[in-house]
Homo-oligomer: A and B are copies of this chain.
């Protein structure tokens, strides 16, 4: 972080977190990784993000331990990016931020509906199942599907795959 003023003067954990995830595009990369996106090209197409930014963000997240880089083929060499346990725990802030937006910034209904894999109940902003009451649901216990407010006009592979219900963390597309 090279800007003249960084958050060093802030001895607080929020600032530490924001130094890592607060740069433009980073939270959306993390969100996509939690949905199950793994490959550079899929992040690129789904997020419509500049290539250099995506490369740099992935490097940063791997170095920080949020994502893990894994070889999925040797010829030619190809890596994918998988959330670590540390990265999976960012699900809660991602959910809280997204639900705030659903509640306050959405003029149509919910764009994405998150439900509990085991009982089908809706998930609230604290990752609690409103159906059965299960709390602290990790991402692999959550299914995402389109809500009534989602405009379905994207045709990249990830957007197409997310037209169907999809369990978080399962590879996409």
Contacts from A to B (Cβ < 8 Å): 3, 5, 7, 9-18, 20-22, 24, 27-28, 31, 47-50, 65, 86, 89-90, 92-106, 110-112, 125-128, 135-136, 150-151, 153-154
Which of B31, B86, B103 sits near A89, CB closer than 8 Å?
B103
Q: Output the nearest chain B residue to A4 by Cβ-Cβ distance.
A: B50
Q: Are A96 and B96 within 8 A (Cβ)?
A: yes
Q: Are A47 and B98 within 8 A (Cβ)?
A: no
Which of B17, B24, B98, B112 sits near A97, CB closer than 8 Å?
B17
- Known A126-B126, A136-B126: A31·B48 in contact at CB below 8 Å: no
Q: Are B50 and A101 within 8 A (Cβ)?
A: no
Q: Are A11 and B151 within 8 A (Cβ)?
A: yes
- Shortest CB–CB separation between residue A44 and chain B, in angstroms? 12
